[in-house]
Structure 1
Amino acid sequence: MAEKLAVQLTAPQGGIDNPNLSGGVYEITSAWHPYSQSLAEPMLSGTIVRNNSNKPSREIKASLITSFSDDYYHRVHISPSQLELGNIASTQEVTFYVWNAHFTQKRLTAIIGISEGLVLDGKKAPYDYQALEEQQYKLTVTPDGSSVIDDSIVFAFDEERPSIIITGDRIVAFAFMPNWQDGITETLEWSTDILTSESGFEQRSALYLTPRRTLEADFILHQNQRQYFNNMMSWGARNWAIPLWHYIQTLTIAAQQGDNFIGCTTQDIEFSEGGLILLYRDFTTYEITEVSAISEDGLTLKRSLQADWKKGTRLYPAKSACFAKQPSLSRKTDNLQLASIEFFIDDTNPFKGVAPEETYLGFPVFMMRPEESNDLTSQYQRLLETVDNKMALPLVFDKSTYSFLVQSYRWLGMGRTEQRQFREFIYFLNGQQKAAWIPSHADDLTVVDIVSATEPVLVIAPCGYKRFASNDPDKKHLVIYLNDGTHYFRKIIDSEAIDGKERLALDSPLGKQLKPSDIRRICYMRLCRSNSDSVEISHVTDSEGLAASQLTFKRVRDNEL
């Protein structure tokens, strides 16, 4: 077999110093031109004739190497191939695409697997997809149907059956209103791992990113409400969309069907982007929708409202929740039933933890006075170890030689601002992890002489400080409250008993001369952490009213490290 190969040869003007090339190359006189310019002289050209009639001496087996074409074409694609819808509280619409990636026509013969509550809009079967044709489908998911969505919609072609997997949970609003006689109890629970040394120092590690949260309330169910509730219990293991009842507000401007904005108050209310809200008229007339953006004057919705809501309609933020334990029911008559229910919020509960503004020795100071309508309790704890062989007297060892005061604190807050500030503080504490200075809020020391502006000394009535407490770090730090509303933080560095009085040397002077009558109270101040990972907030009324909480603090030695 003869082959002809036409070539054009040229050489650079300076020649080529390459021992592997024939010397005849240097006889070429054609000029070398840059690629951007045309050739000044015609190039040497010729024809090479090669005769090759030999058959191959052996056969070589090979396979075709796949390419991008094989990976991407010659099949039908559905994009995305899986839809995770999460909690379905209202009608949702999602789109997906079917693409015939064949270079030939393919026939869609059937669409299989559309269950109750799913509506598919798009090309129906039978339909001929042309080569490389793509079609868009819209899937509408309604709250009606099975409580669990776990479906696979199959697109049956002649030789292929691609599918799209759809998962989610239908949630229904728990639209019964609580009995406010005993209020609503909210519980926030963190988890802290604490390692305590024999000297009393601690290493504390938070195990939760956000606290677990429960809401507990009582309900009075009468007539049709009782019937409706009992039938809803068939879904008792599923999630509900529960309103945060203490954040109630009413619409000041009517909202119309098709609106995607609701004018309302958003400051200090737990609305969240991507979260749920509930518009409520009665236990069967309500609408749940999602929030896409929050502004000072209202909420922008992910989808338009499906109904008209007149002025005065109740508006709540809502959360996905399940029963923490199955409801406790008490039947009073054949038409009246009481229910006590605790809900577990099935979601993360982020909130911005904010430390108090005032600081002392690098730690924040929680200055808010406790509510004292009930007694505030306290107890001194020690790291004691008892050795008892049940024969002789027991032997007790004080391992750290220090006391750790555990003191209770009761908080009472009026209005959304105070409640938000308290919530910021307990989120700052992060369970038992972080510490803050806590005053005793008691009259611990009584000044009996004038306090000099330049001399850092307090002369106090005898109270046994020098004898018992002078070496105890538990009683070294003071907060001095004055009648004019100001206060000072000071540390006791020395003490002595003279002439029936006691003198306390402070780390710095007050810078102001004070008479004993100018001082309202002197309190010991201790660096403390929460003594529990669980905090209960009792919502006596809605968030514009009253809320209460009880905390317990325990002294730590973090400031001594």
Structure 2
Amino acid sequence: MTAIAAIASAAPITAYANARVSGDLSMYAVDYWPAYRVDLGVDATLTITRAVAAAHPRAINAIAAHGYMDDSYYRVRLIPAALDLGMLANAQTRAVYVWNAWPAAAQTLDATPLTGDAYITVTPPGTLPMAFAPLQMRTWTIGVGLQGPPSIAADLAFTFADATQNVTLPITGTRLAIWGWKPDWANGITERLSWLTDVLASPSGAEQRRALRQSPQVTWDFDAIVSDDERAALDLALFAGLGRQWGVPIWHDVCRLPALTPAGTTVLPTGGGRDFRVGGLAVLLTDALTTEAAEIAAVGPTTITLATPTQSAWPAGTALYPACIAQLITPPQIARDTDTISSAQVQMVSAQDMDYSPVAPLTLYRGLPVMEQPPNEGALTAPWQRVGSVLDNKTGQQAIVDTAGVGFAAAQHAWLLAGRDAHNALRGLLYALRGRQQAIWWPSFAADLRCVATIGAGAVSLDVRSIGYARLAAGAPMRRDIRIELFDGSVFMRRILGASVVDALTERLAIDSALGVAVDPAVIRRISFMTVRRLDTDDIELHHDTDADGVTDCTLVTRALRDDLEAS
């Protein structure tokens, strides 16, 4: 036991005179507060005892625990730790900060060797060797231009007197060359959108479809005629970077500057409707040797805002294009026509995602959009497809088994587009269909049925010229939904519930609801069957005869689906 001399103090609350008295006093031999001694003076002493265990010292192995300070300090730091320039469309400068994160230790920088790219400029804030006080930060300026190898892979080392503090800044990116050789519009441009769909088909004709690409691959095929200096420049460009990535103008989305645009401009007029994208490229071009590209920071209804101001002045009429990153699929086929003129066949494929806002038709029927644009008339093919199998042992007759029990009609649909609005509407539809994945109601836009009697406003049947419908279809899937189009543009979509023969020339079709107005056969333009359809291919071609303010044509093949087996 250990004897400790102490003074018992008291607080004013409940006669305790000291508010700071600790509860630890309860651990002493006198384990209660001696309230009756509260009147003792400070000179009075009370002998109390506390048991203290005998000391047994021992050695303990331990390591220092790390805290957040260790994560940020006690080293030299680079901000950013790596410099990724991305796609370099014009000369750029970037700031890099070197921070001596030692709270109490100075550092001395001896050298900053750069390896991997001789065309990068490094501007220090002073002469070397350079002293860093504790916690001091200094700024370096890194300049990168378009001159140099296509791929940027350099290392900027910071070498200190204390070699343990050496740090290295990786610099990566791609110098993007602009493909400025314009297409020869005599043959137009073929743009191909290629989706990828996994289609699992059952013997009954039911399908499960799964998109394997988030956005389509886009390719462009076009011819170019080059002469004089442009011809020589193309020859050197292909020599220096046949496999490089190019900034390729989207030729059919051209617009032109309405007035002189001085250097230092950041906002350019576009007229709207072009495929300019935030983070994408805009290209100003007069010829293959006079181009400028800049990143797009914002897109408005009729303007774009550049991330960096233009470096040159551009006259009125200069072509302004949205551009994408692309590569040559195969080396261009060059034909030398004369010593100064060559022609080239060029095929390019996008090297970036080519997203576009999908726009399905607004009209809905039984939960699916309805195609409302009739095809451009012409020699449109309409082949039939069968779901089944062929059994052939090569020694006897073939056995052809139709497992679905019905035929599946394929049909072409052709567009001849004039104007930017029509062009953008078709592109939105194609992105909504996503190749073979999505299905919509698609009228045949043919006169499949001919009405022979007035349809009453409240009638739930219509009489048509006999074509064998009651015998062959009679409300069967893929032949039970009709679109009644009038000459005034009115459209009624109904489902056939059944059919009966009236006489040798007439059949009566029962429909699911009345039209609500009386309709005379003379005002009916056509009655077409509607079927649920998807595209029959993932590859879609748009042929641009001119830019998108002019004419574009497109022909697709669609395939009928069993609406009763389509997942809702």
What is the distance in 1 between the residues matched to 2:24 and 2:113?
73
- Match of 2:238, SS state, is helix
The correspondence for 1:249, drawn from 232, 251, 255, is 255
Deviation at 1:152, TM superposition (A): 0.8
Q: 1:64 to 1:475 in 2, by over 3 A?
A: closer
Residue aligned with 2:406, SS: strand
- Is the CA contact (8 Å cut-off) linking 2:5 and 2:45 kept in structure 1? no
Spell out, residue by residue over 1:423-464, the C-alpha distance to the aligned partner (whole angstroms, 9 max, x if none): 111111111111111111111111122222222222122212
Q: Matches of residues 447-462 of structure 1 in structure 2 within 5 Å?
A: 447-462=451-466
1:49 CA displacement:
13
In 1, Cα distance between equivalents of 2:445 and 2:293: 47
User: How far is 1:297 from its partner?
Assistant: 3.7
Q: Does 1:377 align with 2:381?
A: yes
C-alpha separation in 2, matches of 1:323 and 1:345 = 9
1:240 lines up with 2:241 in the alignment: no
Displacement of 1:158: 0.6
Indicate which of 129, 132, 141 corresponds to 1:129.
132
Task: Quote the offset at 1:194 in angstroms.
Answer: 0.9
Which stretch of structure 1 is more off in the superposition, 447-456 or 463-472? 463-472
- Alignment of 1:101 with 2:101, yes or no, is yes
Distance in 2 between residues matched to 1:26 and 1:49, nearest whole Å: 14
Task: Report SS of the residue matched to 1:378.
Answer: coil
CA distance change for structure 1 residues 224 and 18 in 2, over 3 Å: closer, same or farther? same
The correspondence for 1:336, drawn from 316, 324, 341, is: 341
Deviation at 1:121, TM superposition (A): 2.7
How far is the alpha carbon of 1:355 from its aligned partner?
Answer: 1.3
Deviations 1:447-494 (A, max 9, x none): 122222222222122212122222532211111111121111111111
Deviation at 1:77, TM superposition (A): 0.7
Offset, 1:544: 0.6
CA 28–490 in structure 1, closer or farther in 2 if over 3 Å, else same: same
Query: Structure 1 residue 277: deviation in Å?
Result: 0.6
CA deviations on 1:512-560 (whole Å, 9 max, x unpaired) are: 2222211111111111011111111111101111111111111112454
Query: 1: distance between equivalents of 2:120 and 2:7?
Result: 68
Unaligned runs of 5+ in 2: 17-22
Q: Measure the CA separation in 2 of the matches of 1:268 and 1:544.
A: 10
Identify the residue that residue 118 of structure 2 maps to in structure 1: 116
User: Following the alignment from structure 2 to structure 1, what is the Cα–Cα distance between the partners of residues 264 and 399?
Assistant: 78
Q: Which amino acid is the alignment partner of residue 23 of structure 1?
A: V
Relative to structure 1, the CA distance from residue 313 to residue 68 in structure 2 (aligned partners, 3 Å threshold; closer, same or farther) is: same
The answer to whether structure 1 residue 212 and structure 2 residue 213 are counterparts is no
- 2:230 match: secondary structure: helix
Q: 1:559 to 1:121 in 2, by over 3 A?
A: farther
Structure 1 residue 107 displacement after superposition: 1.0
Residue correspondence of structure 1 range 404-483 to structure 2 within 5 A: 404-470=408-474, 472-483=476-487
1:318 to 318, 323, 348: 323
- Is 1:543 matched with 2:548? yes
- Aligned to 2:499, the other structure's residue is in SS state strand
Per-residue deviation, 1:498 = 2.4
Contact 2:227–2:342 at 8 Å: present in 1 too? yes
Structure 1 portions without partners, runs of 5+: 32-40
List aligned pairs for 1:254-273, cutoff 5 A.
Answer: 254-265=260-271, 267-273=272-278
How many corresponding residue pairs? 545
**C-alpha spacing 1:471/1:66, structure 2 compared with 1 (3 Å):** closer
**1:224 Cα deviation after fit:** 2.0
SS in structure 2 of the partner of residue 273 of structure 1: coil
SS in 1 for 2:237: helix
> So what's the TM-score if we normalise by structure 2?
0.90
Q: How far does residue 356 in structure 1 lie from its aligned partner after superposition?
A: 0.5
**AA partner of residue 112 (structure 1):** P
1:518 maps to 2:523: yes
Amino acid at match of 1:92: Q
Aligned-partner residue type, residue 265 of structure 2 = D
Q: What CA distance in whole angstroms lies between the structure 2 residues aligned with 1:30 and 1:224? A: 112
Equivalence for 1:27: 34
Contact 1:289 1:301 in 2 (8 A): yes
How many Å separate the matches in 2 of 1:14 and 1:378? 107
Superimposed CA distance per residue, residues 110-164 of structure 1 (whole angstroms, 9 cap, x where no aligned partner):
1111633322233242211111100122212111111110011001111232011
Asked if 1:149 corresponds to 2:152, the answer is yes
Deviation at 1:510, TM superposition (A): 1.6
SS at match of 2:342: strand
State whether structure 2 residue 390 is matched by structure 1 residue 386.
yes
State yes or no: 1:275 paired with 2:280: yes
How far residue 302 of structure 1 moved from its aligned partner, in angstroms, is 0.8
CA pair 527-285 structure 1, distance change in 2 beyond 3 A: same
Counterpart Cα distance in 1 of 2:384 and 2:316 = 56
Q: Is the 8 A contact 1:402 1:472 kept in 2?
A: no
What's 2:232 paired with? 227
RMSD, aligned α-carbons = 2.9
What SS does structure 1 have at the residue aligned with 2:383? strand
Note the alpha carbon deviations across 1:321-349, whole angstroms, 9 max, x for none: 11122212222223222111111111111
1:375–1:146 Cα change, 3 Å: same
C-alpha displacement of 1:18: 10
Alpha carbons 2:332, 2:346 under 8 Å: kept: yes
Q: Is the 8 A contact 2:230 2:289 kept in 1?
A: no
Matches within 5 A, 1:177-216: 177-216=182-221
Q: Decide whether the 8 Å contact of 1:219 with 1:338 is kept in 2.
A: yes
SS at match of 1:23: coil
Give the match for residue 73 of structure 1.
73
Q: Kindly provide the amino acid, as one letter, of the partner of residue 30 in structure 2.
A: G
Which secondary structure state, in structure 2, belongs to the residue aligned with residue 356 of structure 1? Answer: coil
8 A Cα contact 2:190 2:221, kept in partner: yes
1:231 positional shift: 0.9
Partner of 2:496: 492
- Counterpart-to-counterpart distance in 2, 1:529 and 1:44: 103
